[in-house]
Amino acid sequence: MLVGESGSGKTTALRLLAGLLEPAEGRIELDGLTYFDSSRNLSVVPHKRPIGYVAQDYALFPHLNVLENVAFGLRALRMPAPLRRASELLERFGITDLAERRPAQLSGGQQQRVALARALAIEPRLLLLDEPLAALDLSTRRVVRAELIRLLAELPCVTIYVTHSPAEALLFGERVTVLEKGRVSQSGARDDLLRHPRSSYVAEFLGLNLYRGVVGSRTDDGLVRVSVEGGELFLAEDAPIGEEIHVVVDPREVVLSTERPQGSARNVFVGPIEEIAPEPPLGERVRVSVGSRPALIAEVTRAAASAMALAPGRMAYASFKATGARAYR
């Protein structure tokens, strides 16, 4: 899984692998074979790479019917009996009855299956999928997504799946790589991503407050100071001084009040309320963004929010206990 916001370089990464773009420098290897190496001035042309690529809009050939589209790669490789092999594939994908149709006569979901069958016909070692669900409307997306999960699980080849949706990434991928502004910000197992988000993009999707900071001095009562962008946090953690760490704070651990809180919370911030958004599914809880330094998001019940008469622009105190935050490298 390769996940990132639009413009983060996901499609570029796929096009580099497929050979449709050439990197300025670096190396591309697959199964021990090198396909690009800037230091050796080596670049294998795209049609000699064993890589299947399904573009975001599927790019089916409009002048060929479904069967001919699927047989295209087999014919280009001069494989024997391309049409027979192609129709076997159509059968496997359950689209035999579409064989004679032109791409323009297919629904989005059907086009996607044809594009997938076409890419898999030549048995690539690596399959690249660029936002395979993006071109579909919401109602078909759900159906196609379920089919796609089943299908990808059966594939013998490695698949790189690109998406802008963290939900999709977590649903499909065992290994997830997060791209931000052209750079990998986090790469690892799905569970690690869920537990230890290292990018604001993923943290925002998971609904967590994420801070990057450096461990400062230790206080008298055994807490550590962590300086983060815009302020300082107190944590009950055992991190060595000078270490760079990530801190997540669950919005449900954040307490809101309109007066300075008198309790034991060590982390108290004040700032204007920027936004109040109801939480799905019922909207019984609301997420309140506070423009303090550092900024915090708190999640409270709607009843509590109206009891305090919270509204955008009003000053509010947001606080959480030193034990309410989690830190990791």
Interacting residue ranges for other proteins, rule: CB under 8 A: 15, 18-20, 45-49, 51-53, 55, 57, 59-63, 72-73, 75-77, 118-119, 122
b/e per residue, 199-215, with b = 16+ CB within 10 A? bebbbebbebbbbebeb
Alpha-carbon radius of gyration of the chain: 25
Whichever of 113 and 246 has its CB closer to other proteins, that residue is: 113
Pick 51 or 136: Cβ nearer other proteins = 51
Least Cβ distance, residue 147 to other proteins (angstroms) = 22
> Whose Cβ is closer to other proteins: residue 42's or residue 307's?
42
Q: Which is nearer to other proteins, 119 or 290 (CB)?
A: 119
CB of 105 to other proteins, least distance (A): 13
Q: Which is nearer to other proteins, 51 or 256 (CB)?
A: 51
Residue 18 CB, shortest distance to other proteins, in Å, is 5
The Cα-based distances of 243 to 25, 235, 238, 267, 275 in angstroms read 32, 14, 11, 20, 33
Residue 55 C-beta: closest distance to other proteins, Å: 6
Sheet holding 325-328, edge to edge: 231-235, 224-228, 209-218, 244-249, 325-328
Q: Which is nearer to other proteins, 53 or 161 (CB)?
A: 53
- Shortest reach from residue 298's CB to other proteins, in Å: 46
Q: Which tokens hold the place of 157?
A: 């080849």
Q: Toward other proteins, which CB reaches closer, 158 or 277?
A: 158
**Beta-carbon neighbour count of residue 159 at 10 Å?**
18
Q: What phi and psi, each to the nearest 5 degrees, are found at residue 115?
A: -60, -40
Q: Report phi then psi at 63, rounded to 5.
A: -90, -5
- From the list 172, 64, 162, 157, the residue with the least C-alpha distance to 119 is 157
Query: CB of residue 127 vs other proteins: minimum separation in angstroms?
Result: 10
Distances 35 to 27, 30, 173, 268 between C-alpha atoms, Å: 8, 7, 25, 54
- Do 186 and 246 form a contact (C-beta atoms < 8 A)? no
Least distance in angstroms from the C-beta of 20 to other proteins: 5
